[in-house]
Amino acid sequence: MVNLLSRLEILAAFRALSAELTSESQTEIVVGGGAALVLLYDAREATKDVDAVRISSIEASVVQAAAQRVADRLDLPRDWLNDGAKGYLHGLATGEVLFESLSLVVRSVAVQQLLAMKLSAWRDDVDIEDARLLLSKLKGPKAAIWSLVEPFLVPGRELKARYAFEDLWETQHGSS
């Protein structure tokens, strides 16, 4: 059985991680995937992990060691904070601040890039529902939205993502 992390559990984990990171400068983590959607939009009740797509200011290994201590202390999965989504990351556009303390700031990937990641993955009903929600957050005509998303598509998955976008657009807006 997979342990899922709720919004409250993710935020508690970030507070605990912040307490572990007592460096001189603030560490920034950029997250994507389900955790970003849970924290930004309450897209679903929980997610299986927190996909950290970038860590700045200190070595990623320091953050991972701190995350392991948090996992042990809060009884979280050992990989609650991981880089599993990096294969769906092409470039980086940061979005909203999800958590902030003196030692840690956590931002989401920008909405257009989150959508590009979901379109590039397009694996299951969760990706489709996430993409549907993300598309609803971007306003404008189809071509304008596609131009925001396209630079972040994973190379080699552009055609898959384009078909997914077309299908999603037609479902939400009708054919145009």
Whether the pTM exceeds 0.85: the reply is: yes
Most confident of 42-51, 76-85, 108-117: 108-117
Q: Please list the alpha-helical segments (H only) found in the chain.
A: 7-20, 33-41, 60-74, 111-121, 125-137, 142-149, 158-173
- pLDDT of 47 above 80: yes
Contact call for residues 138 and 112 (beta carbons, < 8 A): yes
Could you tell me which residues come within 8 angstroms of residue 59 by beta carbon, excluding any fewer than 6 positions away? Answer: none
Return the closest-CA partner of residue 130 out of 32, 51, 53, 49: 32
Q: What is the SS3 assignment for 28?
A: strand
Task: Record the tokens describing residue 39, joined without a space.
Answer: 């924290």
Is it the case that residue 1 has pLDDT exceeding 60? no
Average pLDDT value for residue range 3-26: 90
Q: Where are the domains of the chain?
A: 5-109, 113-173
pLDDT digits (tens, 9 = 90+) for 97-139: 999 999 999 999 999 999 999 999 988 888 899 999 999 999 9
Is a pLDDT exceeding 90 seen at residue 145?
yes
Share of the chain above pLDDT 70, in %: 98
Q: What's the confidence (pLDDT) of residue 92?
A: 94
3 state SS of 3: coil
> pLDDT class for 22, splitting at 50, 70, 90?
confident
2 confidence band (pLDDT: 50, 70, 90): low
Minimum mean pLDDT range among 51-60, 82-91, 104-113: 51-60
Q: How far is Cα 121 from Cα 3, in angstroms, rounded to an integer?
A: 22
Q: What is the pLDDT of residue 176?
A: 59
